[in-house]
Amino acid sequence: MKEIRQLGRHSYVFSPYLEPIASVQPGEEFVIYTKDAFEDQMVSEQQKPTEVLGEYLNPQTGPVYVEGAEPGDTLKVNIIDIQPTRDWAVSLFIPFFGGLTSTHATRTLQEPLPERVFIYKIEDGWVTHNNRLRFPWRPFLGTIGTAPFLEALSALTPFDHGGNMDVPDVKPGNSVYLPVNVEGALLFTGDCHAGQGQGELCGVALEVAARSTLSVELIKGKKVRWPRIESVEEYMVVGSARPMEDAARIAYTELVEWMTELGWDKWEAYQALTQIGDCYVGNMVDTYYSMVAKIRKEYVHP
């Protein structure tokens, strides 16, 4: 099985202008290695993030060129497995970053958060800091996306290409549908999480370096407008915007469109999602917020 590692500098943008580090064929399984959101630099609870971290976060492994992918196609990424490449995860507080503090985009006269680092042990299916901070291993890819058509977007930014969505449903057993904007799609991924609550409240999940097994498929001649996720039981769409209600509107509108593609009348789909749809916050801390609208397949295919 092909193994893909970033041998040079990691990318901190989703860009159409970078040379691919590897290529894969549709249907091919491959393994891709990623560093954590801090490029594996936070290793001790005695460290202060502002003294260690640089200006950029979320190193991406990629781009990976998908043979045969052309603009106007959709790339389906099947997430087969995620395994940690070390026995610990890290979370931390960063001054002026997170959902319950002032940020560069929501400035107030509030004092900054205290800097604090939490190192978690990964063992026997659990991620443990102490008796209270003990959570099950629930891995997912915080960041996954294709290259935009023209501009380079920060690896901290979720948008219609995917990116830093921080959505826990981007996990093993599920498939992510992404737009192909450039030849070869140019797939990037990184920012693996050992687990995260909805919203990624302090801005830092259980960050971990990982080894992920993926495969890709191409849907020719049909391009999704926003990322879609499919599980065995649900259809989901991710919308990313500010304010948060616009992200929810994107997600639900695109889910209505997906249901019409599956044979539904548009207005009956709108009615069904009003009565039985679900919606949750992926992140409420990034440059754009991500919302996930979903519906169980049993209601789509009664």
| Number of folded domains that form the chain | 1
Residue 187 backbone dihedrals phi, psi, to 5 degrees: -90, 135
Rounded average pLDDT over 217-245: 98
CA distance 233 to 236: 10
Residue 258 backbone dihedrals phi, psi, to 5 degrees: -65, -40
pLDDT at 54 exceeding the cut of 90: no
- Asked whether residue 256 is domain-assigned, the answer is no
Q: Do you find a cis peptide bond into 112, omega within 30 degrees of 0?
A: no
pLDDT for 149 equals 95
Rounded average pLDDT over 59-83: 98
Q: What is the model's pTM? A: 0.96
- Asked whether residue 213 is domain-assigned, the answer is yes
Of 7-11, 90-94, 208-212, the least confident: 7-11
pLDDT at 105 exceeding the cut of 90: no
pLDDT at 106 exceeding the cut of 90: no
- Asked whether residue 284 is domain-assigned, the answer is no
Q: Token digits for 249?
A: 């509107």
CA distance 256 to 272: 9
pLDDT at 55 exceeding the cut of 90: no
Q: How many helices (H) and strands (E) does the chain have?
A: 4, 21
Domain that includes residue 61, residue range: 2-231
Question: Could you tell me the pLDDT band of residue 200, with boundaries at 50, 70 and 90?
Answer: very high
CA distance 195 to 206: 6
Strand ranges (DSSP E) for 129-222?
134-136, 140-146, 153-154, 158-159, 162-163, 175-179, 187-193, 210-219
Rounded average pLDDT over 252-269: 98
- Asked whether residue 66 is domain-assigned, the answer is yes
- Asked whether residue 10 is domain-assigned, the answer is yes
- Asked whether residue 134 is domain-assigned, the answer is yes
Q: What is the CATH number of the domain that holds 158?
A: 2.60.120.580
- Asked whether residue 300 is domain-assigned, the answer is no
